[in-house]
Amino acid sequence: MTGPRPLQPRPGVLGITPYQGGESALEGRRDVIKLSSNEGALGPSPKAVAAFEAASHNLDRYPDGAATALRDAIGGRFGLDPARIVCGAGSDEILALLARAYAGEGDDVLYSEHGFLIYPIAAQAVGAQPVKVPEIDLRADVDGFIARAGNRTRLAYLANPNNPTGSYLSGDQLRRLRAGLPPGLMLVIDSAYAEFVTEEDYDSGAALVDETENTIMTRTFSKIFGLGNLRLGWAYGPAHVIDVVNRLRMPFNVSGAAQAAGIAALADRDHEAAAVAHNTAERGRLSQALTEAGIFVPPSAGNFVLARFPGGAPQAQAADDHLKARGIIVRRLAAYGLPDALRITIGLTPEIDAVAAALAEFMALEGAADG
C-alpha cells in the first residue's frame, strides 16, 4: 500500500530559476550609485508624487478595480481605445497572466535568446516549455521565430526594444514577424522602453494590435515614468484578449495610489520630454566614453547600454568588482547568456561621469597589466 501523496508543486515549478532583480546595496557602503535596474534617471514627476501623497488619505477604501480613470488617461495620452486596455501590478503581472491564459502543459513559448528573463519564468510557471530563439548580432531573428513556431507554440514574447541588448525591430520587421507566425499564436510585444525610443522606424506595436486579432502590447510605468516601486503596467490588445486577461486578473490588482500617480505622471508631458532628452544625451555620452576606453557598446534604443568587454567574462567580472569597490552597481548578465557584458542603466549626469571614469580607469589598468 502506498501512503498519502506528499505535498509537491505542479510539474515545472521547481525547474524555475527565480528572477533576481538588480542589486541595490553594497555591504559597508551607504552611498551607492545604482545603475542596475533601468529605473528612469529623473525619477517620477513631482506631480505623480503629489498624487500618491494625496491618495494616502484614502487608504481604507478599495480602489476602482477597473482602473477606469487610469485607462482613460492612458487612452488619451497614446491615442488608444480605453476599453481595450487592461492595467496590472507592473507589466510583469500581465506577461504572466498571458502565459496562464494561452499556454499550458505540452505547449511551447518562444522568446529571443537574450530576452527578458521573466518570459521563460512565465512559461515554466504554467508547465509550458520555454524555447529560446537564437539572435543574430544581438538582435531578435524574425525568420528564426517564424521557423520555430510549430503546432505546439502558443505564445511568443518579444521585448522591443530588448532588455538587455538595447536592440529593436522596426515597425516593418514586426509586421513581417506577425505575418509569418500562425494565427493561433499570441504575439506579445513588450514595449517597456517604448517612450525612450527616438528612432523613426520604431513602432511600439499598437498599430499591429489594431490590425490583428492575436497581438498584444505591454507597457510599464516603471521606466520613463519612474514609478517602479508602485508596480504599475498596462496592455493594449484585441477586445477578446483583454476580456480574457480581465477574467484572470485579481479584482483589485492595481492600488488606488498607483492609479492616481499613473494619471498624474501621464499628464506631466514636460517631465517625460526631459527624461527622453536626458536619456538620449547621456546614453550617447556614455557610449562614446566606453568605446574610447576600448569597450564594445552596441547601439541601444533603451535607457541602458550593454558594455561588452574584449577580455570576455573574466574581464566583465573584474570590471564589475572594480565598479563595486567604487560604490557603483550595474548588472551582470551571465543569466542572460552574456557573461562578457555588463548592463549599465542611464542615470543622472554625475552618475554617468562616475561610471565612465571608473571603467576608463579599469581599462587603463588592464592595458597596463597586459603591456
Ligand X SMILES: Cc1ncc(COP(=O)(O)O)c(C=O)c1O
The residues that touch ligand X, with contacts defined as CB under 6 A, are: 38, 90-92, 116, 159, 163, 190, 192, 220, 222, 228, 233
Identity of the residue, 115 or 256, whose beta carbon is nearer to ligand X in the bound complex:
115
CB closer to ligand X, 159 vs 241: 159
Q: Judged by CB, which is closer to ligand X: 51, or 118?
A: 118
Identity at 355, one-letter amino acid code: V
Cβ proximity to ligand X: between 117 and 318 the closer is: 117
Place of cell 497572466: 97
Cβ 223 to ligand X shortest distance, Å: 7
Distance from the first to the final alpha carbon of the chain = 72
- Taking the complex as a whole, how short is the minimal distance between the CB of residue 247 and ligand X, in angstroms? 21
At closest approach, how far in Å is the CB of 233 from ligand X?
4
Cα–Cα dist 6/209, whole Å: 45
What is the spatial distance between Cα 88 and Cα 76, in angstroms, rounded to a whole number? 18
Output 301 or 323, the one with its CB closest to ligand X. 301
Q: State the residue for C-alpha cell 481605445.
A: 81
Nearer to ligand X, 85 or 293 (CB): 85
Q: Specify the residue for cell string 514595449.
A: 191
Q: Which is nearer to ligand X, 141 or 366 (CB)?
A: 141
Smallest separation, CB 157 to ligand X (Å)? 9
For residue 225, report the phi and psi dihedrals to the nearest 5 degrees. Answer: -85, -5
- Nine-digit cell at 179? 505575418
Nearest to 304 by CA among 322, 289, 282, 319: 282
Convert 11-64 into a string of H (helix), E (strand) and C (coil): CCHHHCCCCCCCCCCECCECCCEECCCCCCCCCCCHHHHHHHHHHHHHCCCCCC
Q: In angstroms, what is the minimal distance from the CB of 170 to ligand X?
A: 18
Rounded to the nearest whole angstrom, what is the least distance from the CB of residue 221 to ligand X in the complex? 7
Q: Nearest approach, Cβ of 159 to ligand X (angstroms)?
A: 4
CA 214 → CA 238, 240, 293, 337, 357, distances in Å?
7, 9, 45, 29, 47
Q: Whole-number minimum distance, CB 162 to ligand X, in Å? A: 7
Cα–Cα distances in angstroms (integers) from residue 162 to residues 77, 115, 166, 181, in the given order: 23, 6, 5, 20
For 244, other C-beta atoms within 10 Å of its C-beta total 20
In the complex, which residue's CB is closest to ligand X? 90
Of 177 and 289, the one with the shorter C-beta distance to ligand X is: 177
Cell numbers for 348: 543622472
